[in-house]
Amino acid sequence: MASLKSEFLGIKSPNPFWLASAPPTDKKYTVARAFEAGWGGVVWKTIGEQIKNVSSRYAAIDYGGRKVMGLNNIELISDRPLSLNLKEIAEVVKEWPDRAVVVSLMARTERESWHELVRMAQDTGCHGLELNFGCPHGMTERGMGAVVGQDPEIAKMVVEWVMEVAQIPVITKLTPNVLSVVPPARAAVQGGSNGLSLINTIQSVMGVDLKTLVPYPNVGGKSTYGGYCGPAVKPIALKMLASLKQDPIVKGIPISGIGGISTWKDAVEFILLGAANVQICTAVMKYGFRIINDLCDGLSNWMDDKGFRSIGEFIGLSVDKLTDWEQLDLNFHIVAKIDQEKCVHCGICYIACEDAAHQAIRLAKGTPYNRYEVIEEECVGCNLCHLICPIEECIVMEEKNRGSYINWLEYQKRGLPLNDH
């Protein structure tokens, strides 16, 4: 059987599933409950200077009958006393010696402030530190969070300060609120960070209450920009993860993947694109700690089916399959095929193709049902009909290669015509 044991920067845990720094990790009570349920590790909710949070704090987007496809929060770092957090962290480390306990930190952009916070956190016996360079709201106005992560020079300087006193592994958590995540990642690595984690939340406005005209969430008739997370951000997180794993300076640095992970399949995708482990928050806020059972069972079964014995055997296996558009094969061609036995005659594919694609589906009116057929010579293989069809495997895309591999650069070099219709 596959082993789910994980090691990240020398920090060992029974599985690669950690709880991200967030409300589920802000106190001993919830962390202990998570470990009892089977979670491999936690990143303790960010500690630092004393703050006060507001009410309300969350807003969500529902889609297609599914609740909380995206979650927005305007919550700040831990509002519990620093001394209480440190005391409980030390107790958890002692009581759960086989689990990973990493502490998220945020301090003012001052060397002594970071030194003091790092030393206090280390004294708890925790296994690692995560530097919060990503919080997009509230703390930024105080010169912390995403303000640090958006400026490579400041990020590098702060990491260097931390590494002057750090005696345990340091992970730098990056903000997605940048043009490119590569420069701040490089800066953190050059500053000495042992590892990286990403993504933090994306700055957002969730919507507006059409009754009160106040954006969500409503705090006494006002709102503010918040941090967006949940399943809807996964594609953005995967892109940023992959871009780091393709960068020559950063690709060798261990990365903890974060962003919209809800299922074991999501976790596998992150690991295939280079994450050494994953962190989860929103899914737990929606379903509770019990999802760890499905996460572990699903990952274990998939690894058994694929013949992988350990997590390390498939970290990053899909990174090299991402390339520049100019390198894609222009002779590769697929066309849609409709299985008439499975078709329920809804016509969704025809409407989509006729109105928004390439008019490659023919409508044959009939009694009692209309029939829909692909006009193969007009089909460009865009996938739209396949994606919107409500019946699984009713519309499949079949490969129709037209010739040997050739990319756009070769087409230009040879002066070949690009439009063969």
CATH code (residue 15) = 3.20.20.70
Residue 310 lies in a domain: yes
One domain for residues 292 and 396: no
Q: What is the mean pLDDT of residues 258-268?
A: 98
Asked if residue 419 is part of any domain, the answer here is no
Q: Is residue 308 part of a domain?
A: yes
Query: Quick one: pLDDT at residue 315?
Result: 98
Residue 322 reports pLDDT greater than 70:
yes
pLDDT digits (tens, 9 = 90+) for 367-390: 889 999 999 999 999 999 999 999
Residues 174, 314 within the same domain: yes
Q: What is the mean pLDDT of residues 94-123?
A: 96
- Residues 108 and 242 reside in one and the same domain: yes
| Mean pLDDT calculated for residue range 116-125 | 98
Write out pLDDT tens, residues 162-198: 999 999 999 999 999 999 999 999 999 999 999 999 9
The token pair at 327 is 């390198």
Residue 349 sits in the same domain as residue 258? no
Q: What is the arithmetic mean of pLDDT over 329-334?
A: 92
Residue 284 and residue 391 share a domain: no
- Whether 247 is covered by a domain: the verdict is yes
Cβ 237 vs Cβ 271: under 8 Å:
no
Task: For residues 258 and 359, state if they share a domain.
Answer: no
How many separate domains does the chain show? 2
Q: What is the pLDDT of residue 402?
A: 72
Q: Is residue 1 part of a domain?
A: no
Whether residue 134 is predicted with pLDDT greater than 80 in this model: the reply is no
**pLDDT-derived band of residue 257, with 50, 70 and 90 as boundaries?**
very high
Alpha helices in 192-326 (DSSP H): 234-245, 264-272, 282-287, 291-306
Same domain for 276 and 299: yes
| Span 386-412, average pLDDT | 92
Domain end point (choices 286, 319, 352): 319
Cα 6 to Cα 13: distance, rounded to the nearest angstrom: 5
The alpha carbon torsion through 15, 236, 250, 9 (nearest 10 deg) reads -20
Tell which wins on pLDDT, 52 or 96: 96
Return the active site residues. Answer: 135
**Mean pLDDT (the chain, rounded):** 94
In the numeric block, the tokens 């050739």 are attached to: 406
Per-residue confidence band for 98, with pLDDT thresholds at 50, 70 and 90: very high
- E strands, 211-360, are 226-229, 255-258, 277-280, 334-338
Residue 103 lies in a domain: yes
pLDDT tens profile 228-254: 999 999 999 999 999 999 999 999 999
| Residue 137 pLDDT exceeds 80 | no
For residue 130, what are the domain limits?
A: 6-319
**Cis amide bond preceding 217, omega within 30:** yes
Q: How far does CA 367 lie from the centroid of its chain?
A: 48
Compute the half-sphere exposure of residue 223: CA atoms within 13 Å on the CB side of its CA. Answer: 22
Domain at 330, CATH number: 3.30.70.20
The answer to whether residues 283 and 390 belong to one domain is no
CB 252 within 8 A of CB 194: no
Examine the domain organization and report whether 101 and 181 are in the same domain. Answer: yes
Q: Which of 319, 347, 382 is the endpoint of a domain?
A: 319
Q: Does the global pTM surpass 0.85?
A: yes
- Does residue 32 lie within any of the structural domains? yes
> Can you tell me the mean pLDDT for 280-288?
96
139 band by pLDDT with thresholds 50, 70 and 90: low
Q: Select from 319, 344, 373 the last residue of a domain.
A: 319
Decide: 54 and 79 in contact? Cβ < 8 Å: no
3-state secondary structure at position 72: strand
Whether the predicted pLDDT of 16 surpasses 70: yes
- In a shared domain, residues 163 and 94: yes
Q: What is the mean pLDDT of residues 347-376?
A: 95
228 by Cβ neighbours in 10 Å (0-12 / 13-18 / 19+) ranks as buried
Residue 214 falls inside a structural domain: yes
Same domain? 46 vs 178: yes
Q: In this predicted structure, what is the pLDDT of residue 421?
A: 43
The values of phi and psi at residue 335, to 5°, are -135, 155
Do residues 368 and 393 lie in contact, with contact meaning Cβ atoms separated by under 8 Å? Answer: no
Residues 294, 357, single domain; the answer is no
Amino acid residing at 130: E
